[in-house]
Chain A
Amino acid sequence: MALRLPSKVLKHILSFIDSNEDRNSVSLVCKSWFETERKTRKRVFVGNCYAVTPAAVARRFPEMRSLTLKGKPHFADYNLVPDGWGGYACPWIEAMAAKSPSLEEIRLKRMVVTDECLERIAASFKDFKVLVLTSCEGFSTDGIAAIASTCRNLRVLELRECIVEDLGGDWLSYFPETSTSLVSLDFSCLDSEVKISDLERLVSRSPNLKSLKLNPAVTLDGLVSILRRAPQLTELGTGSFAAELKPEAFTKLSKAFSNCKQLQSLSGLWDVLPEYLPALYSVCPGLTSLNLSYATVRMPDLVELLRRCSKLQKLWVMDLIEDKGLEAVASYCKELRELRVFPSEPDLDATNIPVTEQGLVYVSKGCRKLESVLYFCVQFTNAALITIARKRPNLKCFRLCVIEPFAPDYKTNEPLDKGFKAIAEGCKDLRRLSVSGLLSDKAFKYIGKHAKKVRMLSIAFAGDSDLMLHHLLSGCQSLKKLEIRDCPFGDTALLENAAKLETMRSLWMSSCFVSFGACKLLSQKMPRLNVEVIDEHPPKTRPESSPVERIYIYRTVAGPRMDTPEFVWTLHKNPEIGVSKLAIK
């Protein structure tokens, strides 16, 4: 006899469940649980905006208050997806405006957002509170002004690394004259100057402001004046630190920072002169997050700063920190959970990248809580990877970018197979992995077999053959996103493991050997996948065997896309392509 919980009780229970993964599981139990769950879900996450229609989402979740959407494939960040591919926010905003007017929060990543879109948001959602745009493009500061002026209850407005047509700093003056409810404002990606007086007044009338990230156009003087008005900030992104070094300026800055007793996160610091760093010393002991990745500060000034940051959990820094600096981090920053080391000279020919594998080894040994790594360096060794895996089995995210393509273990000249095997085997909770360097098919056999929880895998310039892809698609039980560039495999592995693709969010392959015929066949056989061929050549003029430049395959219940540009070929859009001549297995 099945026990049936009254829906009220179930509702109450579900109100404690926030995680969408758990809620997805709940909704699979039975129809009544599905119904109860969908009527109580407030925060909706759509990882691929083309996987489902906006109307379907609005219909299913009538109580939706927060929507998070992702558009372009991740490799769009590195210019591998041509402009105009898609990821338009408008259809979603239109649909939500009509069906979910109580929407309060919108978070978009890698999407094309227009000013009209932003104006629609401002006009349609009466209680709009949160807008976070990450790596988006297509809008101007006019759109921002619309949001600022119309959304009276706006709490969060964050533009993170967006490409914005900057028409000037006026938008800042559009916030309501009376006190605002702003908690977080991030305009660090805008270029043009904002009037400091506007900013000062805004800050003064925003008593709830906790997070403020300025753009590089804001000077040191401006920063000082802002800090005086907002000593309650917990997150600060400074403007440009480049200014003539005057003794009074330094003292003022120091004093302003020392008043910010609640500061936990610091970023910005463009062009920071080492002479100004001591002004930050007073906040260092309280910092949990420090982003120095735009600061061209070198050793030993870096160490002087870092050794005071004993509570630091997140550190983003440039390779100017050198191995020495990382050794210092390992001894002073014992709470470190996330480390990202970016190259100061991101060129293939860079010869003097001052971090080596040793730096990462230091941190792995010294920082017991380390769980997330992004590391750029020129070369690596298997021994280092093995040590890292042994010392830090709690790693959740490991992204190693050996800048030199195909670089072997420089001490033994072997591929880095053994090293990544150790990582896959040893770090049992690994969820995200990016591999690089010289790797044979063996490496992927290990990864396929051992990396049971990896959800996202990024691969470039690796492998020997189709086996590589086969290992990954037939292993890697939790794989959701796979992105591959410049690897030597093609159709066989893809077609043999076609069923796997329906369990994943997406697969991206560029500059590999997937033939046009295989794409067609996959399209025909798997109607619940969208197979997009992103290629300049019209399919008719190509033989079936010719390799395509890029393919992007994703599962969808929304059917084929209607907004594909010229250079994206799908079977639906281009039925004249015809049936694949490949033998159907």
Chain B
Amino acid sequence: MSYRLLSVDKEELDISPPGLKVRNYFGLSDCSSVDSSTIHNRVQDGEKTSNLNFKATELRLGLPESQSPERETDFGLLSPRTPDEKLLFPLLPCKDTAASATTEHKNVVSGNKRGFADTWDEFSSVKGSVRPGGGINMMLSPKIKDVPKSIQEERSHAKGGSNNAPAAKAQVVGWPPIRSYRKNTMASSTSKNTDEVDGKPGLGALFVKVSMDGAPYLRKVDLRTYTCYQQLSSALEKMFSCFTLGQCGLHGAQGRERMSEIKLKDLLHGSEFVLTYEDKDGDWMLVGDVPWEIFTETCQKLKIMKGSDSIGLAPGAVEKSKNKDRV
């Protein structure tokens, strides 16, 4: 399947993969100060050329990557903040050599400049009632015309799923277009209802972000709705199985033909992907090493990484992933 990358000036980069273009609809890009020359926004068959310059990590062919940490843009909704994160999707031109390794993900967290989200957090004031569970807003990825359908399929699986873990909720800034007043009002009334229904002690939700290499947008899961790793893992499988491949279809028909139907499940069992989390110290660990209760207390973020990326993790983690390979 082809994938569209940014086309950039040859002056800037050592590599310029021909004929590949990308779209980034969500201009939360952290542009560097490299000057590019001509602006040439021409329309050709729905492809766009623009010399977008992102803070680069690497250039990849094949599956889209959700490289850098996500950015929150939070305009007036309270959210549990993990600062300085940004989601750049799908691919970033590499300023280094083309052959750079793929193990740099976790290092991107540091050194990000202060995001707009942080600036806006100063401006935004918390007004009205607060949404329970926080409202982390993310940007939706470029058009992925096939995703909606697969999300629907995936959802029908989720509904009939074996475990009872509720699906986490993806969020996009300002979408669906409902006034904050209404959102806040409804959020506070639904939270009242769920508390009564579930009869849970008022611990509140424990939302952590879940990203997956190649998925167009983040999800959030409430760790308190699960009681063991198995539940979490099944829920994530269901949530992400639609994102496994093929989001290059910019024109519906073509894209769908190219999209293959590998499910995340297969990938996980084929040990291409491993589930990792970032703990309170900022280290990335493999999920499953510690008892569940400790995990829920220390887990800050979840990430479904490619097996090859987890090489940099703790030795125990590597061991485990190797074991998975054997299985």
Q: A residues near B, CB below 8 A?
A: 75, 77-84, 135, 137, 161, 163, 165, 189, 191, 270-271, 293-294, 296, 342-349, 351, 376, 379, 401, 403-408, 410, 413-415, 438, 441, 458, 460-461, 464-467, 485-492, 511-513, 515, 517-518, 535-537, 541-549, 565-567, 581-582
Contacts and interface: CB of A to CB of B under 8 A. Distances in A.
Interface in B169-188: 169-183, 185-186
- Which of A84, A458, A565 gathers the greatest number of chain B CB atoms within 10 Å? A84
Interface in B266-297: none
Given A82-B75, A161-B182, A541-B33, 20 more contacts: A79-B76, A83-B75, A83-B123, A163-B127, A343-B178, A347-B170, A348-B169, A349-B155, A349-B170, A351-B167, A379-B152, A403-B176, A406-B144, A406-B148, A464-B251, A488-B48, A489-B43, A513-B25, A513-B48, A546-B29
A347 B169 contact: yes
The 5 closest A-B pairs by CB, nearest first: A536-B116, A78-B174, A464-B46, A83-B123, A465-B43
Contacts of A81: 75
A80 B174 contact: yes
B26 interface: yes
Interface stretch (B50-58, B92-100, B102-110, B199-207): B50-58
Contacts of B171: 347-348
B172 A542 contact: no
Contacts of B51: 543, 545-546
A461 B128 contact: no
Contact of A488 (B23, B31, B33, B156): B23
Interface string B26-47: 1111010111101111110011
B260 interface: no
Main SS class of interface, B: loop
B313 interface: no
B252 A415 contact: yes
9 contacts: A78-B177, A135-B179, A348-B175, A518-B41, A543-B34, A543-B36, A543-B51, A545-B39, A549-B116
B179 A549 contact: no
A511 B167 contact: no
A486 B128 contact: no
B39 A582 contact: yes
B39 A517 contact: yes
Interface in B134-174: 137, 139-140, 142-145, 147-149, 151-152, 155-156, 158-159, 167-174
B125 interface: yes
Nearest to A378: B152
A408 B50 CA distance: 27
Contacts of A537: 31
Contacts of A549: 27-28, 116
Contacts of B52: 545-547
B123 A485 contact: no
A430 to B, nearest CB: 19
Contacts of B142: 488
Nearest to A407: B148
A348 B170 contact: yes
Contacts of B190: 345
A135 B129 CA distance: 15
B41 A466 contact: yes
A79 B75 contact: yes
Nearest to A538: B33
B250 interface: yes
A408 B159 CA distance: 22
Interface residues of B, number: 79
Given A349-B167, A490-B48, A492-B43, A406 B174 contact: no
B145 A492 contact: no
B308 interface: no
B77 A79 contact: yes
Nearest to B115: A536
Nearest to B119: A536
B189 interface: yes
A274 to B, nearest CB: 14
A135 B28 CA distance: 27
A286 B145 CA distance: 47
Contacts of A404: 148, 151-152
Given A296-B189, A466-B41, A342 B148 contact: no
A104 to B, nearest CB: 28
B26 A486 contact: yes
A213 to B, nearest CB: 14
B229 interface: no
B50 A515 contact: yes
A191 B40 CA distance: 52
Nearest to B26: A511
Given A78-B174, A349-B155, A511-B25, A461 B119 contact: no
A137 B184 CA distance: 15
B123 A401 contact: no
Contact of A542 (B33, B128, B139, B183): B33
B148 A511 contact: no
Contacts of B46: 441, 464-465, 488
Nearest to B135: A79
B48 A346 contact: no
A154 to B, nearest CB: 24
Contacts of A405: 140, 148, 172, 175
Contact of B176 (A82, A165, A293, A346): A346
A165 B41 CA distance: 46
Contacts of A77: 177, 179-180
A491 B25 CA distance: 14
Nearest to A512: B25
A75 B174 contact: yes
A401 B75 contact: no
A485 B175 CA distance: 10
Contacts of B47: 465
Contacts of A567: 116, 119
Contact of B186 (A75, A344, A465, A487): A344
A408 B42 contact: no
B299 to A, nearest CB: 21
Contacts of A517: 39
Nearest to B176: A403
A413 B252 contact: yes
A542 B24 CA distance: 16
Given A342-B182, A511-B139, A546-B52, A466 B148 contact: no
A350 to B, nearest CB: 8
Nearest to A582: B39
A461 B186 contact: no
A448 to B, nearest CB: 16
Nearest to A294: B185
A541 B156 CA distance: 47
Contacts of A163: 127-128, 181
A351 B34 contact: no
Nearest to B193: A296
Contacts of B172: 348, 405
A161 B140 contact: no
Nearest to A83: B123
Contacts of A491: 39, 41
B252 A342 contact: no
A353 B227 CA distance: 28
Given A342-B178, A343-B178, A351-B158, A543 B26 contact: no
Contacts of B129: 191
A513 B41 contact: yes
B174 A485 contact: yes
B161 to A, nearest CB: 11
A351 B152 CA distance: 8
Contacts of B148: 379, 404-408, 438
A542 B31 contact: yes
B112 interface: no
B248 to A, nearest CB: 14
B189 A406 contact: no
Contact of A135 (B140, B181, B183): B181
A346 B123 contact: no
B250 A464 contact: yes
Contacts of B120: 82-83
